[in-house]
A and B are shown apart, each in its own frame.
Chain A
Amino acid sequence: MTEKNDLIIRIAGEGGEGIVSTGDFIAAACARAGLEIYTFKTFPAEIKGGYCLYQVRTSAERVYNQGDTFDVFVAYNGEAYELNKHLLTPGTTFVYDGPGGDFEPEIPEGVTAYAIPMSKTAKALGSYRSKNMVALGALSVLFNINETTLIEVLTNKFKPKGEDILEFNLKAFAEGKKLANEHKKTDDFRVADATGTKDVILIAGNEAVGMGAILGRLEFFSAYPLTPATEVAKYVSAQLPKTGGTLIQAEDEIASMAQVLGASYAGKRSMTATSGPGLALMSELIGMSTMAELPALIVDVQRGGPSTGLPTKHEQSDLFLAVHGGHGDSPRIVLSVEDVNDCVNMTVAALNLTEQYQCPVIMLSDGSLAFSTQTIPTPDPDSFEIVERTRWDGEGEYMRYKMTENLISPMADPGTPGGEHVAASLEHTESGAPNFAPEPHEANARKRFNKIKPVIDQWPAAEMDGVEGEADVGIITWGSTIGVAREAVARLVAEGKKVKAMYPKLIYPMPVDQYEAFAATCKQILVPEVNYQGQLSHFIRAETSIKPVPYTICGGLPFTPAQIVNKVKEIS
């Protein structure tokens, strides 16, 4: 058997045992060694403790998703073992806390097992908290994790906390190595060798949205804590003051959205980030953003719903809310990101679009992407175009809602003499004066819908994947499911299947012609998405002539490539 170095290591145990830091250290060390990273995490909804899982996928090639299952499973405790033992299939490798842990596993036939007395060794070292360092040392030996970069990462982390702390952790790390060296390596799993430093950063989805906001020259952010979106505000709160901007924590999501509109009226590039429950609360004010034509970016990091639902779990079920949430005819632009790279670049683009079109822009991320750390090319701040709102030139009489040729009415910042106007929540005339007659309402409804239509041509055409020409199955999917579909399509094409795919990121207004042209080359259309109703399928049926086959799951987890591969085979 040849060595497998597109490697997936799953680490699980009790929250607070250093699961996340172990995973982060491995990811950072591999990224430093020039490898690609895609991590997947699930957190307990409990305040302290609870089952916690961190999966690192690393390869010399780009990785697009968390993978089907693990190659290596590391159990910190008995609960983690119990929850994952059904996945210990022949060919997998199992590393566990023992002897001296809280469980005695049965090793299934065909599974390679390495017992590492993590707890016992940590206690002997004088601190149970060093358990993750013992584990890390063992894993570095067992799976060829680059020791040079790992030590660098540990030094960067612990040195600022004190030489003694660094020394202690390195000692625990060395103990772990020693324990692993007592085993004879009998499996073929090893992390790919260092490929030399690449110009990359390692960042999670939520932080990446925050970075995009900074690069998009955000000036105002109003936050309200909501899982799994809060890290966006955490990042922005630390960085925005550096560029002279303001982040405020509001009293609720309604106030957040209100403050965003208030700051936008005052001429500032403004945004908020929330999850489904917050987006629901913001609906009325998002309607005001449409009516008063006030730029505003809302990032929705989706989670399982409805109601409080599954706060820490993955779901793509806010598409209806994003596109149609709110009363009245209230158009907005809806985007969805595929991966961490998109989280940076599309946040910049979304800020530009909301300024350009003076309408709400909702950008959808999701629970698995929120916490997934990935290696991405280091963004170049000078490479981003910054689009500003059209401002009044000061000529003639100012009409805030003037019917211009492109339907974009120039805005005037407070303080501009002659530009005094009302941001109108009521239907209005071109000056902004309230008016409830039939004609202005119909004209303005047309204006609000038609002014955003050019975004369909402005936005890059949806990416196509898979075979050229006719296909038996065409996949259309969105959000982080795109990354899963990419791998599924590659596997199917490698098997000789005639499969292609389309990956829309501009969700609304819908690029109908692109959907139709794609579907015309496919015998059938499969739409995998992580929600019960098949929300994108629903929009496709409503807006195009396509009759897609929905493929929906809603178990709180993302798709695996294998699931999509199997479904395509099933229907073709």
Chain B
Amino acid sequence: MVSATFNKIEMKPKEYKSEIKPVWCPGCGHHGVLASVYRAMSELGIQPSDFINISGIGCSSRLPYFVKSYKMHTLHGRAGAVATGTQLARPDLPVVVSGGDGDGFSIGGGHMPHMARKNVNMTYVLMDNGIYGLTKGQSSPTSRREMKAYITPYGGVEEPLNPILYMLTYGATYVGQAFAGNPKMCAALIKGAIEHKGFAYVNIFSQCPTFNKLDTAKFYRGLVEEVPEDHDTSDMENAMRLARRPDGKAPVGLLYQEDRQTLDEAMAGLVELVGGSADYDLKKIIDKNRP
């Protein structure tokens, strides 16, 4: 989405708050992400009626309720697929998905590659807390193996996946990562993602103080390290190298950005190719079946 395509308005971040108050626990990283969303919207001057925020199911998927906008609270894992339809139907409006690690990479994992490779022109903000919070603390695809959880009482038996490495591989054209404790960076990345033309993925470490006692805010603060200033964001190989640093540190900032034809552009190209329009003579279509 390119910011110039929608009508700008002057609104303060707090004016984007909806009438519904956040239901998250005190200390939850998602509060920081929400503040960053408000800030990004304000900085971009987005009209609430021009903004479409779509989520699946989970703690993070409640986010759209707290934002003044058009929104869909859909099914577990399906936000990205639903948003793909919405984006193709209204390519003129910014579409942002809010979701979590279980929603995006477990049940919804089958949709992730396709949004990225098709370069659906939308933003996916994934709040990664390494746990299923809404169902009271089961291990997720990003949980550390040593974590004892609700139905892994003896500790985990699986390795976690690396979200940004996946998204780079799948073909996302904008990949960034941040920590919810740094709302400024989060807002900058989300703003950049909305402005980006193509599929933008932002992974945000967002601590769950209630159920994930391993990945605390303190832990994340020690885990992250800013992407080096001299990193060239068009350099995929270096982005991948940063995404899997041997010392286990997690890069934060913008890792990768690419300009590639979006799915809606390709679709518009098909309409142009066949000379399509809403007032196309339907009789011409019917006549193809004359014997």
Contact = CB atoms under 8 A, between A and B. Distances in A.
A419 B70 CA distance: 8
B114 A255 contact: yes
Contacts of A201: 286, 289-291
B218 to A, nearest CB: 33
Interface in A198-228: 200-203, 207, 211, 214-215, 219-220, 222
Interface residues of B, number: 53
B161 interface: no
Interface string A257-292: 011111111111010000000000000110010001
A258 B57 CA distance: 14
B283 to A, nearest CB: 6
A219 B290 CA distance: 25
A211 B289 contact: yes
B93 A262 contact: no
A396 to B, nearest CB: 16
A421 interface: yes
Contact of A419 (B49, B74, B286): B49
A244 B88 contact: no
B68 A259 contact: no
Nearest to B64: A422
B72 A251 contact: no
A420 B64 CA distance: 11
Interface in A403-430: 414-426
Contacts, number: 187
Nearest to B74: A425
A96 B110 CA distance: 51
A239 interface: yes
B20 interface: yes
A268 B89 contact: yes
Given A246-B88, A262-B54, A417 B47 contact: yes
Interface-central residue, A29, A242, A245, by most chain B CB under 10 Å: A242
A273 to B, nearest CB: 15
A248 interface: yes
B75 A203 contact: no
Contacts of A264: 85
Contacts of B278: 243-244
Interface stretch (A78-86, A373-381, A481-489): A373-381
A63 to B, nearest CB: 15
Given A31-B291, A214-B282, A381-B283, A219 B274 contact: no
B53 to A, nearest CB: 9
Contacts of A254: 78, 81, 110
A31 B289 CA distance: 11
Nearest to A37: B291
Interface stretch (B28-36, B137-145, B265-273): B265-273
Interface in A64-121: none
Interface in B1-59: 20, 47-50, 52, 54, 57
B136 interface: no
B184 interface: no
A420 B75 contact: no
A9 interface: no
A320 B283 CA distance: 38
A266 B74 contact: no
A245 B277 CA distance: 8
Nearest to A210: B285
A525 interface: no
A246 B20 contact: no
A546 interface: no
A32 B73 contact: no
Interface of A: 27-29, 31-32, 149, 153, 200-203, 207, 211, 214-215, 219-220, 222, 239, 241-246, 248, 250-252, 254-255, 258-268, 270, 284-285, 288, 292, 375, 378-379, 381, 414-426, 433-434
Interface of B: 20, 47-50, 52, 54, 57, 64-65, 68-75, 78, 81-90, 92-93, 110-111, 113-114, 263, 267, 270-271, 273-278, 280, 282-283, 285-286, 289-291
20 contacts: A27-B291, A32-B291, A222-B85, A242-B271, A243-B276, A248-B84, A248-B88, A250-B84, A251-B111, A255-B84, A258-B75, A258-B111, A261-B85, A263-B88, A266-B52, A375-B291, A414-B90, A416-B49, A422-B73, A434-B65
